[in-house]
A and B are shown apart, each in its own frame.
Chain A
Amino acid sequence: MSANQAAESLLASNQQKKLENLPKDYPLSTSEDEGDNDGERKHQKLLESVSSLNGKDRQKLAERSEASLKVSEFSVSSEGSGEKLVLSDLLEPVKTSSSLAAVKKQLNRVKSKKTVELPLHREEIERAGTPLEHEIFNLLHKNKQPVTDPLLTPVEKASLKAMSLEEVKMRRAELQRARALQSYYEARARREKRIKSKKYHRILKKGKAKQALKDFEKLQKVNPAAALEELEKLDKARMMERMSLKHQNSGKWAKSKAIMAKYDLEARQAMQEQLARNKELTQKVQAASESEEEEEGQEEEEELLVPDMVNGVQINGLNPWMFRNHFIDAKEAEVQKDLKDPTEPEAQEPSESEEERAGEEETLLKEFEERRSLRQKSELNHMAEPVHRPVTKDPSSQEVLSELRALSQKLIAENHQSGKQELSSARTAQREEPAREEEEPMLLQRPERARTLDELEELGREGCVENKELPRTAVEGLQLEKNLSNHIGAPKEKKRKEQMIDLQNLLTTKSPSVKSLAVPTTVQELEDEGERDQRQMIKEAFAGDDVIRDFLKEKREAVEASKPKDLDLTLPGWGEWGGMGLKPSAKKRCRFLIKAPEGPPRKDKNLPNMIINEKRNIHVAAHQVQVLPHPFTHHQQFERTIQTPIGSTWNTQRAFQKLTMPKVVTKPGHIIKPIKAEDVGYRSSSRSDLSVIQRNPKRLSIRHKKHLENNCVD
């Protein structure tokens, strides 16, 4: 990937930023000129509706892609129907041309003929006057956008008609789900917005700062030029900060804190912190401190950034009304990921404003639309052309893509801050940069392509698709992308990948070939040999990943099977409603689930190419010792005593004899007399003392000796 390309991509992302602001700004620009009364009123209405897009009362507005707080099956919202922004309104001549006289004449002529009814008929609209109108109309026409009826485009209509009952049902279910999700998001966002915890916000800020820092570092690595630009911006921000004398303990808050500092340790700390920050900000900037600055000098930075964003506004051949949506598509992949795990995304990006949410929602809806249109591609292929493009697998662009995504994430975060800013700067809005046409296709292609690649990967993970033809670089790009997005499943996936790679290494390491003196001759093989060779060739052609994948799959299954099973004691219908199709609630299931204790680690845990059966061999166990003999308290102690084999196979003859010698040896043909007391050491009579002597000769007393001598004499 060339640096040039990267720069371009960065530019494209900048444009997105600008484009996002377009819907707000564009109508504003028109408001400058004064029109006739009717026009003014309409315009006022338009302004209101547009500004309502931004604020809290946004959900009043009914749009065909919007979901209200209430989850309703049908997307009819009674609330906002009155002040709906209708596209056909925009088509009307709002801006009168400078040559008013001629127009007035025309108008008069028309009036004299007959009264004009508003809105105009279709033909009359088509005949509409100013070049701008023409242009807009052309655009709309070209893109099959609704001119009079704003609800459905012809494409959509056609697709609606073409849908079968099941499809309609499916679609409805999809929409329902989407709407539900949206409302959840909204509710959640609102809740989070209301959080008053300072700690929370501090942590949020810190997290963001870290993220931004990381992004910058990444950018530095990937695209030094862009990083440099970024740095310059920071420098400017720093300068602004120095000029503004903020963080100098001169503000209201700082003064109050200064008073409190004497008594309050926290206040003192806060002051010190502020001072430190000031120092940090006013120092000559380092790359690392960038993120904090971004957070700190919000306003300044925004002022600085906004013009750039607005500068990017451009009008090209495509429908300008669609820009916003197109930009939003860029985040589609993220949204998709969020969708997969509805509980989790807030933790990642909890501070997104509602506007942002709305953007996501639209994206969501748009995506569904796209899916639907994809389904009916056959009929409307040529119409749908601009919506979905063939997937191109240009490796370099893929890499750019992944970077772009990272950048866009960052920009989103920034935009969120700038979003609070009111729609003020009319002067900036007017400025228009010469359009860069070559950037545009890239910008538009992006989301679609990324999504498809994501899907591809998904498929590959399930083993349905052989992504062999996917170029290596593309795969790497994907990997990078994955690293960037903190997808929950990522670490596990990565680990598995690693294992896979390990196995790959194991099996495919280039081994030096043996230099044999006698190379086998391959002439005149037997039939079966030939047959085998053919099979061999086929095998070789297909040998590779599938073997490894199969093995890994098998191993995974084995691991799963050997895991101890959890015990579920949930009684359906106990304490709640029961019946067909009703499942006990997650909470209940969680409560009555007895988790099995985690077993010992598998023996093949660290052996990627092994599956060891963990089942107990009961046949061997039947032969093993099952009771510990007396003096032993632990089985390891006993094991040590039985470790040496005593058979003649493993020992010399002598050792074998000694090891197997019985403790008691009897002789055949001899009477074994019963044991007597004197044998054990008791002396009951005079006869028995001999045995005592024999047992412990040391203790022979003189008396005994005498006795003994007497005996001997006898």
Chain B
Amino acid sequence: METVPKPDSNVPPKKDRLQAKKKKPRRYWEQETTGTAAGASPGPPRKRKRNRELRPQKPKKNDTSGKFRISKKPRELKSPGPQRSLSGAQDPFAGPAPVSVEVVQKYCRIDKSKELPHPRTKTRSRLVAAEAQEEETSVRAARSELLLAEEPGFLEGEDGEDTAKIRQADIVEAVDIASAAKHFDLNLRQFGPYRLNYSRTGRHLTFGGRRGHVAALDWVTKKLMCEINVMEAVRDVRFLHSEALLAVAQNRWLHIYDNQGIELHCVRRCDRVTRLEFLPFHFLLATASETGFLTYLDVSVGKIVAALNARAGRLSVMTQNPYNAVIHLGHSNGTVSLWSPAMKEPLAKILCHRGGVRAVAIDATGTHMATSGLDHQLKLFDMRGMFQPLSTRTLPQGAGHLAFSQRGLLAAGMGDVVNIWAGQGKASPPSLEQPYLTHRLSGHVHGLQFCPYEDVLGVGHSGGITSMLVPGAAEPNFDGLESNPYRSRKQRQEWEVKALLEKVPAELICLDPRALAEVDVISLEQAKKERAERLGYDPDARAPFQPKPKQKGRGSTASLVKRKRKVMDQEHRDKVRQSLEQQPQKQEKAKPTGARPSALDRFMR
């Protein structure tokens, strides 16, 4: 779902003049306010101001006439025509600023292409109102895009130059100091290949080495928050909703640490976890285990919501779809299964590869899924409708790790090389023709993630951690209310409370996140049926046609019957026409399936 980009909270949203001023109804308190002193009224400032304006005009204690004028005066002010300022100069850009239709369209959610059954007048007025409301809100949202001031970075080769040949050193040389400082290498050869994770704001980084080394740091300022060795194999690390909590999948159980490195919990019901995934809006920590279980842990209440058996052996490939919070698991039989805690079985299964699936990644809008398999292929699937691969490439060694950036760049770790592909625009899938960037690391890739809101790709490998600069990877404008990289402790706490209040129930996760905007048709029908049964008749059924009695000798029984028959025939014809329309479809369906009919079939009994 498109969310409206939010600037920093101190930037006031642009005032809109779309609201039409209505006649103000009389309020129950206004009798008193006019009667008492002006300062005592606790109304909103705008109204107070108006009252104050009125005061000199209305010294009399007559409310009714005063009311009359109140209602009248704004109407005069809002009279149409060019507004003149005090100086008499005319506004050259009169009226509201124009908004491009495409941008407005982006925020529209009502599918007008669907035809509705003919509504009654009352219903129609409601529908019209809903559409007007939607248009208004989407226009507002489109207008607020003006506040997205930042532009994404980019990398362009001089004519004919391949961008993939540009090395990190070149980029670092070209960019400013602050950005150059974002490229760094951590040489940690001692504790094995590293997995890493950025916090949702993109400010903090945590990583865990195979041999037990776990650390969290503010990677921009390089300030270390904690560093411990858990003395156990670490399979995966992940920040929970904020950077203050940290989940570590250790050899045996799942542990949760705070940003001081203090162990808060040991979740023994999640054992032998191989991959972790956090669903931020549901406060769910999804764990995939060696034993083949997918477990959802609600971190806000510390309860296990669901433990699902995938029945596909060891689970070592997991990712989440940010669009609908569905978990995607990759299996050794080449399928990717989609899971929600509400269902015991997978929501869907997609056969992607002939060999096992090695990595899965889904882009931020949930439209594209990239998979790589043991057959050395990298495939890009369209997740809307057809679920067909958009493009396929064979890689020399196959990709072991995949990651999508916020703006749709795809990174693939193959051995000790990282390739990054970019698409044409924001919504377009990455074209796998030519890599956008290539980088060789000092060890084999073990973890990949793009940093949110920074043009940085973090790579965990057997030689430590590398932070690569990838221009144009991240969303340049962050939502200050949602995930503010510069937030203070107080702000974070406030956000935490808000986020907890807005927590989405776990059972609402399903393939279509807009399912809530739909009516439960099955129970509706059931209720209707039951009601009809209870009453003995269907109250919603249309009354049979009853011709009106006519005057002037035309109201004979015969003509009455005739008119009735006419209507009946018309209805019958409609029905037949409808069924005829459906029939060819059926025949088309039937033809290819059945055997070629023999001429003798008509004698068969």
A652 to B598, CA, bound (A): 68
Please tell me if B133 contacts chain A, counting CB pairs below 8 Å: yes
Q: How far is the CA of A348 from the CA of B64 in the complex (A)?
A: 97
Q: Contact: A650 with B4, CB < 8 Å?
A: yes
In the assembled complex, A574 has its CB within 8 A of some CB on chain B: no
Q: How far is the CA of A550 from the CA of B334 in the complex (A)?
A: 10
Q: Per a CB cutoff under 8 Å, which of A348, A543, A609, A645 touches B109?
A: A645
Contacts of A617 in B (CB 8 A): 340, 342-343, 510, 515
The A-contacting residues of B in range 68-121, CB under 8 angstroms, are 68, 109-111, 114, 116-117, 119-120
Interface stretch, picked from A34-42, A390-398, A439-447, A666-674, is A666-674
Chain B residues, CB < 8 A from A644: 109-110, 130, 133-134, 137
Contact partners of B134 in chain A: CB under 8 A: 643-644
Residue B396 contacts which of A514, A643, A652, A659 (CB distance < 8 angstroms)?
A514
Name the A residues within 8 Å of B137 (CB-CB): 644, 651-652, 655, 659
Nearest-neighbor residue (CB-CB) of B136 within chain A: A655
Any chain B CB within 8 A of the CB of A628?
yes
Q: Which B residues lie within 8 Å of A634 (CB)?
A: 116-117, 119
Determine the residue in chain B with the shortest Cβ distance to A551.
B351
List residues 513-560 of chain A with CB under 8 A from any CB of chain B: 513-514, 516-522, 525-526, 529, 536, 539-540, 543-544, 547-548, 550-551, 554
Query: Do B345 and A613 touch (CB < 8 A)?
Result: yes
**Does A697 belong to the interface (CB within 8 Å)?**
yes
Please give, as numbers and ranges, the residues of chain B lying within 8 Å of A670 by CB-CB distance. 28-29, 32
| A103 at interface, CB cutoff 8 A | no
**Chain A residue with minimal CB distance to B134?**
A644
For residue B528, which residue of chain A has the nearest CB?
Answer: A628
Residues of B within 8 A of A607 (CB): 386-388
**Which of A486, A548, A616, A643: most chain B Cβ within 10 A?**
A643
Whether, in the assembled complex, B148 has its beta carbon less than 8 Å from a beta carbon of chain A, the answer is no
Residues of A229-249 contacting chain B, CB below 8 A: none
Given A613-B343, A651-B140, answer yes or no on A623-B516 (Cβ-Cβ < 8 Å): yes
Contact check, B348 vs A611: say whether CB atoms are below 8 A apart. Answer: yes
A629-647 interface with B by 8 A CB criterion: 631-645
Nearest chain B CB to A12's CB is how many angstroms away? 29
In the complex, what distance in Å separates the CA atom of A563 from the CA atom of B397?
Answer: 43
Min CB distance, A65 to chain B, in Å? 30
Distance from B348 Cβ to chain A, minimum over Cβ atoms (Å): 5
Residue A586 CB within 8 A of the other chain:
no
From B16, B374, B377, B524, contact of A539 by CB (8 A): B374
| Contact flags B328-356 to A (C-beta < 8 A → 1, else 0) | 00001111000010110111111111111
B423 at interface, CB cutoff 8 A: no
In the complex, chain B residues whose CB is within 8 Å of the CB of A637:
116-117, 119, 123, 126-127
| A195, closest chain B residue (CB) | B603
Nearest B residue to A508 by beta-carbon distance? B354
- Tell me if A684 counts as interface (CB < 8 A to partner B): no
Set of chain A residues within 8 Å of B131, measured between Cβ atoms: 640
Contact in complex: B126, A631 (CB < 8 Å): yes
Quick one: CB contact mask for B1-29 with A, threshold 8 Å, 1 for yes? 11110000000010110010000001111
| A627 in the interface (beta carbon within 8 A) | yes
Task: Confirm or deny: A509 has a beta carbon within 8 angstroms of a beta carbon on chain B.
Answer: yes
Closest residue of chain A to B114 (Cβ to Cβ) is: A636
Q: In whole Å, how far is B274's beta carbon from the nearest beta carbon of chain A?
A: 12
Chain B residues with Cβ below 8 Å from A251 are none
Q: How many A-B residue pairs have CB under 8 A?
A: 297
Closest to B16 in A: A654
Q: Nearest residue in B to A192 (C-beta to C-beta)?
A: B603
Q: Which residues of B contact A691 (CB under 8 A)?
A: 64
Q: B600 near A203 (CB under 8 angstroms)?
A: yes
Residues in chain A near residue B415, CB distance under 8 A = 520-522
**Which residue of the partner chain, among B117, B343, B510, B593, contacts A633 with CB atoms under 8 Å?**
B117
| Residues B517 and A639 in contact, CB atoms below 8 Å apart | yes
**Interchain CB contact under 8 A, A626 and B4:** no
With A631-B123, A633-B119 known as contacts, the answer to whether A641 contacts B377 (CB < 8 A) is: no
CB distance from A501 to the nearest CB of B (A): 14
Contact B508 A623 (CB under 8 A): yes
Expressed in whole angstroms, the minimum distance between the Cβ of B9 and any Cβ of chain A is 9
In the complex with contacts A348-B598, A655-B141, A522-B520 CB distance below 8 A: no
Asked if B536 is at the interface of the complex by the 8 Å CB criterion, the answer is no
Q: A547, B354: Cβ atoms under 8 Å?
A: yes
CB-CB under 8 A from B602, the residues of chain A are: 203
Interface size of A by Cβ–Cβ distance < 8 Å? 102
**Which of A143-151, A381-389, A490-498 forms part of the interface with chain B?**
A490-498
With CB as the reference atom, state the residue of chain B lying closest to A656.
B137
**A109 interface residue per 8 A CB criterion:** no
Report the bound CA distance from A617 to B397 in whole Å. 41
Whether B595 contacts A486 by the Cβ 8 Å rule is yes
A671 to B502, CA, bound (A): 35
By size class, the interface of chain B is 35 or more
Chain B 370-397 near chain A by CB (<8 Å), digits 1 or 0: 0000110110000000111100111111
0 or 1 for each of A657-686: is its CB under 8 Å from B? (1 = yes): 011000000011111110000000000000
Let me know if A507 is at the binding interface, CB within 8 A.
Answer: yes
A619 at the interface (CB under 8 A from B): yes
Do A631 and B386 have beta carbons less than 8 Å apart? no
Verify if A207 is at the interface (C-beta below 8 Å from B). yes
B480: min CB distance to chain A, Å: 12
**Smallest Cβ-Cβ distance to B395: which chain A residue:** A514
- CA–CA, A571 to B141, complex, Å? 67
- Pick out which of these stretches binds chain A: B243-251, B295-303, B432-440, B469-477: B432-440
A712 at the binding interface (Cβ < 8 Å): yes
B38 within 8 A of A: no
Check B507 for interface membership: any CB of A closer than 8 A. yes
Minimal beta-carbon separation of B542 from chain A (angstroms): 11
Is A638 touching B519 in the complex (CB atoms < 8 A)? Answer: yes
Q: Please indicate the chain A residues that have their CB under 8 angstroms from the CB of B440 in the complex.
A: 518
Is the CB–CB distance between B355 and A653 below 8 Å? no
A631 to B122, CA, bound (A): 6
Interface residues of B in 494-536 (CB under 8 A from A): 502, 505, 507-508, 510, 514-524, 527
Cα(A420)–Cα(B519), bound, Å? 73
Given A628-B524, A643-B110, A547–B414 Cβ distance below 8 Å? no
What's the minimum C-beta distance from B62 to chain A, rounded to whole angstroms? 7
Question: Is there contact, CB below 8 Å, between B348 and A612?
Answer: yes
Q: CA separation between A543 and B358, bound complex, in Å?
A: 14
Residue pair B524, A643 in contact (C-beta under 8 Å): no
Q: Given that A650-B2, A669-B42 are contacting pairs, would A525 and B393 also be in contact in the complex, using a CB cutoff of 8 Å?
A: no
* Interface residue? B320 (CB, 8 A): no
User: What's the Cα separation between A610 and B385 when bound, in Å?
Assistant: 11
Asked if B109 and A551 make an inter-chain contact with CB atoms under 8 angstroms apart, the answer reads no
Cβ of A253: which chain B residues have Cβ within 8 Å of it? Answer: none
What are the interface flags for B125-156 relative to A under an 8 Å C-beta threshold, 1 for contact and 0 otherwise? Answer: 01101110110110011001000000000000
CB distance from A509 to the nearest CB of B (A): 7
Inter-chain CA distance A617–B339, complex, in Å, is 12
B507 engages A672 (CB within 8 Å) = no
B residues engaging A (CB < 8 A)? 1-4, 13, 15-16, 19, 26-29, 32, 42-43, 62, 64-65, 67-68, 109-111, 114, 116-117, 119-120, 122-123, 126-127, 129-131, 133-134, 136-137, 140-141, 144, 162, 164-165, 193, 332-335, 340, 342-343, 345-356, 374-375, 377-378, 386-389, 392-397, 414-417, 419, 432, 435, 438-440, 444, 462, 482, 502, 505, 507-508, 510, 514-524, 527, 540, 592-596, 598-604
Residue pairs across A and B with Cβ atoms less than 8 A apart, 6 shown, are: A210-B599, A526-B444, A551-B335, A639-B518, A643-B517, A645-B517
20 more A-B residue pairs beyond the given contacts A637-B127, A644-B133, A651-B4, with a C-beta to C-beta distance below 8 A: A204-B600, A488-B595, A491-B592, A507-B353, A513-B395, A516-B417, A517-B162, A517-B435, A539-B374, A610-B348, A621-B522, A624-B520, A631-B120, A636-B117, A640-B127, A654-B140, A655-B141, A667-B29, A693-B64, A697-B68
